[in-house]
């Protein structure tokens, strides 16, 4: 199964990458709808995955054996998953802090 879990550091897009990103931007909304993710919460997270897919698709020739849609969805899935994990971890810390405060009272 194809995944995009490894970290990738974004850098400024080239003109060609910017044009490619704009041309395929609807994939971001297709991804959000397909996963029933609220746009207002997840767009900012998955767009980073999408842009990394744009860059990597051009820069790493081995990725072009796959359809761009597959690469983009894998990168957005990785970004959304990381966001969910970070959000869950943050909630756990908040609950632990609240419980500690209750015991101290």
CA separation for the pair 47, 53 (Å, rounded)? 10
Query: pTM of the prediction?
Result: 0.79
pLDDT for the residue 55: 96
Question: Token digits for 42?
Answer: 């997840």
Question: 71 CB contacts (<8 Å, ≥6 apart)?
Answer: 2, 4, 53, 56, 57, 63
Buried b (16+ CB within 10 A) or exposed e, 50-72: bbbbbbbbbeeeebeeeebeebb
pLDDT for the residue 77: 96
| pLDDT value at 1 more than 50 | no
Question: What H or E segment, with its residue span, contains residue 81?
Answer: helix 68-104
């Amino acid at each position: 199964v194809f995944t995009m879990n490894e970290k990738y550091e974004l850098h400024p897009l080239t003109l060609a990458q910017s044009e490619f990103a704009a041309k395929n931007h609807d994939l971001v909304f297709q991804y959000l709808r397909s996963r029933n993710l609220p746009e207002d919460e997840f767009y900012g997270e998955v767009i980073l995955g999408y842009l990394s897919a744009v860059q990597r698709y051009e820069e790493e020739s081995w990725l072009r054996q796959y359809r761009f849609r597959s690469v983009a969805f894998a990168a957005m899935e990785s970004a959304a998953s990381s966001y969910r994990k970070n959000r869950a971890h943050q909630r756990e810390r908040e609950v632990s802090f609240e419980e500690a405060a209750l015991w101290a009272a």
